[in-house]
Structure 1
């Protein structure tokens, strides 16, 4: 995951909330902003969990390789495979 991209998405969510001005008073705006920040972080955390699960699956695949039938190149191919995009 790209940290700059994650921060950018969270900042955009905050700016949309601040510019929306739907809350009646400043306390409501703060609470709305907290809610948006929380949702944005949860979204980023979900992406991290997906990446973690993908890495675990790849490591499991490598662990299952038979050293008599597979080479280091086979393990590298598993690591470098990019079948999903975030």
Structure 2
């Protein structure tokens, strides 16, 4: 993944988020947006679907412990989680 920029990865993550969470488009997702805002409305089932979709998109396994440790509150926290998994 050395050829892929951080910005490119962020776009892919946000694209997956918009598809899984049935949102308008990645451009609506600012890093500071709360995952629990009226726009995103993340709940436990949506989180499971989102993690599975991100695993498929990037060909990685995201450990449950990593998800719990990530303190997922914002779009940016999802980006940090995925970048952390890709570095490992």
Which one scores higher on RCO, CA 8 angstroms, separation ≥ 6? 2
Return the index of the structure with the highest Cα Rg.
1
Place the TM-score, normalised by the shorter chain, in its bin: 0.3 to 0.5
* TM-score normalised over the length of structure 1: 0.37
